Structure 1
Amino acid sequence: MSVPRVLPWIAALLTMTFWASSFVVIRDAGEAFSPGPMALLRGASAAVVLSVWMLFRRPRFPSGKVVWLILALWGIAWFSAYVVVLNAAERSIDAGTASMIVNIAPLIIAVFAGLVFGEGLPKRLLIGIFVSLLGIGMITAASFTGFFTVGGLVLSLVAAVLYAACVLLQKHFLSGEDSVTVTWMGILIGALVSLVFAPGLIDEVAAAPIDLTLQVVYLGVVPTAIAFNLWGYALKFLPAGLLSSSSLLVPAIVVVMAWIVLGEVPPPLAAVGGVLCLAGAAAAIGPQIIGSLRRSPARA
């Protein structure tokens, strides 16, 4: 099958945009939904959408017990544990600080993939990551509200490790499988595990305004069902460390979206931080994207 080299990068950039939108939406929905119930409603919405899609698309299930075991662990860790831990972290630490800590995940992925998977550690990639992390730090400093706890710090670090581990598991064990089926099964497994939060979700849906409930459904449909399918597609063709560096664009996109959608004019320090995020990401992944535009289609 012939795949234009630029398509995985288009998928990656769309994923980052959709993931960035989730941070803007969660600001409102988090007022009505606690971490577990929000994760369940988000996961269930994604699972329903993808299950309907599977009625029209024949799934190609993985073969082998080891792959199924990895798929189950990945689904629980990525679509249940990570979402709940991150939601909980943002309740006990400033959201910007949590985002900054979680964004060390691309660095973890780049180093691990370079040393263990043989992807290499290009200086340009590492420099780009560090420049973007500096920008994220500036955005965090500009938006810091003083809300900080040790528990929130620990939860944010756990979220970063889960993020990195899930990407590495997917790249090493699952990227050779059908990405749509793998994403569907992972989300379904995560939603089933999150059913422990069903009683709380029933109470919170009954009390929440309908618009906030629909916002969580949006989180399930767009940043989860659609975005994770795009991510899985991109991960089939791109190195894990390089692809994960594209997530460093998210804080800058969030600043722009909050400005456009919520009318939140970014402080000067946050604006400079956003520029650094973009510059770092451009240094890390820009040459590969430009090269993709110049080269002929590759064999997948």
Structure 2
Amino acid sequence: MKSRDLSIALLVVVIWGVNFSVIKIGLETLPPILFSALRFAVVAIPAVFFIPFPKTSVWNVLGVGVFLGVLKFGLLFIAMKADASAGLSSLILQAQVFFTIGLSVLLYQERISRYQALGILVAVAGFGLFFLDAGGNITAMGLMMILAAAFCWAIANTIMKRMQGVNLLHFMVWVSLVPPLPLLLISYFTETAQPLDVLLAATTDTWQALLYVSYISTLLAFALWGYLLKSYPAATVTPFALLIPVVGMFTSTLVLNERMTVTEVAGAGLIFAGLSCCILGGRLMLAKSRTARQQL
């Protein structure tokens, strides 16, 4: 990977890692469903008037819009409002890796490697520790909601997996047009019947958080990530995602003064080890075997 593109990859990792702390700041004054609705509305409008519809099915746009925009982010934002810290949310959400692997096996008959199987078992042990220690930086309900959000993200991944030759930036803009209306309706009936009053009472920090999550984390980061995936094999790009929870936990400690318990640290370590085994295990063993053959 060129040094410039390496810098781009690290920039995306930082943007997405910091994003969880920014979300937490925005949720201090905005209800989670309303915040999520505004996030996608800001991304979609006025961009949809200038960006052509992506070269894919309307059902793909609707599917990703519902599972990624409405369900995944709705559940994540609700959990982060009161039931989960920013740092742990950034890590546990990566369960989408395991769910995506499982769905790919079921739907596309992909084979699961022994390293992926081992990684899943190790990570499950880590999630189990969070259930035992629920109540510190994450409640049992928060853990279940974020795992459900990760599963919805995995469904969106399987939908996008079957798409070929689609401009990711165009796709995300049009996907962002789907969530605002249903989320606003849910917010109206479950959070507040006076959304304008809530918006008028929002602080400058809240509006800055909304702009960051919308333009920086969604439009800019996804566009850069799409560029990297087009320029390099997925196996070269995707391992950088392992750094997102590292940045997320570091940022939440620095900005939000979040502290993890010993059990949470152990659980996080197991989940990270499982993720590393799933994504890097096979390639590391292949590289090791090649090195061994060259030495003979």
TM-score between both structures, scaled by the size of structure 2: 0.71
Structure 2 equivalent of residue 259 of structure 1: 253
Post-superposition CA distance 1:84-134 (Å, at most 9, x none) = 222223346344776676443221111221343244312223333444555
One-letter amino acid of the structure 2 residue matched with residue 106 of structure 1: V
Where does residue 124 of structure 1 map in the other structure?
A: 115
Q: How does 1:113-152 map to 2 (within 5 A)?
A: 113-132=104-123, 134=125, 144-145=135-136, 148=139, 152=142
**Equivalent residue number for residue 25 of structure 2:** 28
The residue matched to 1:188 in structure 2 has which SS?
A: coil
Answering whether residue 95 of structure 2 is matched by residue 104 of structure 1, we say yes
- Asked whether 1:180 is paired with 2:169, we answer yes
More moved, 20-29 vs 113-122: 113-122
Of stretches 98-107 and 19-28 in structure 1, the one that deviates more from structure 2 is 98-107
Q: Does structure 2 conserve the Cα–Cα contact (< 8 Å) formed by 1:12 and 1:231? A: yes
Shift in Å at residue 260 of structure 1? Answer: 3.5
Aligned position for 2:214: 220
- What aligned pairs does 1:8-87 form with structure 2 within 5 A after superposition? 14-48=11-45, 51=47, 55=50, 59=52, 61-62=54-55, 67-87=57-77
Which blocks of at least 5 consecutive residues in structure 1 are unaligned?
293-300
Q: Does 118-127 or 206-215 show the bigger shift?
A: 118-127
One-letter amino acid of the counterpart of residue 127, structure 1: L
Query: Contact 2:26/2:207 (CA < 8 Å) preserved in 1?
Result: yes
Who is 2:294 aligned against?
Answer: none
Give 1:284 shift: 3.2
Once the two structures are TM-superposed, the CA of residue 235 in structure 1 deviates from its matched residue by 6.2
- Distance verdict in 2 for CA 1:157–1:285, change over 3 Å: closer
Structure 1 residues 142 and 154: CA distance shift in structure 2, 3 A: closer
Q: How far apart, CA to CA, are the structure 2 residues paired with 1:12 and 1:125?
A: 24
Q: Aligned-pair distance for 1:145?
A: 2.2
Report the alpha carbon displacement of residue 149 of structure 1 after superposing the two structures with TM. Answer: 6.2
Q: Say which SS state the counterpart of residue 200 (structure 2) adopts.
A: helix
SS class of match (1:226)? helix
* One-letter identity of the residue aligned with 1:43: F
Distance 1:213 1:253 in 2: 23
- Partner residue, 1:168: 158
- Cross-structure match for 2:290: none
Q: Which amino acid aligns with 1:104?
A: A
CA contact (8 A) 1:139 1:271 kept: no
Distance 1:186 1:213 in 2: 22
For residues 54-103 of structure 1, the C-alpha deviation after alignment (integer angstroms, 9 at most, x for no partner) is 85xx646325xxx1122122123212332122222334634477667644
What residue number does 2:234 align with? 238
Alpha-carbon deviation of 1:38? Answer: 0.4
- CA-CA distance at 1:218 after TM superposition: 1.0
Deviations 1:10-46, CA, capped at 9 Å, x for gaps? 8776544333222212222212111221012211232
Aligned partner of 1:204 among 198, 201, 205:
198
1:78 to 1:126, Cα distance in 2 relative to 1, 3 A: same
Percent identity, aligned pairs only? 23
Shift of 1:144: 4.1
Q: 1:105 to 1:149 in 2, by over 3 A?
A: same
Are the counterparts in 1 of residues 242 and 276 from structure 2 also a CA contact under 8 Å? no
One-letter identity of the residue aligned with 1:145: G
In the alignment of these two chains, the number of paired residues is 277
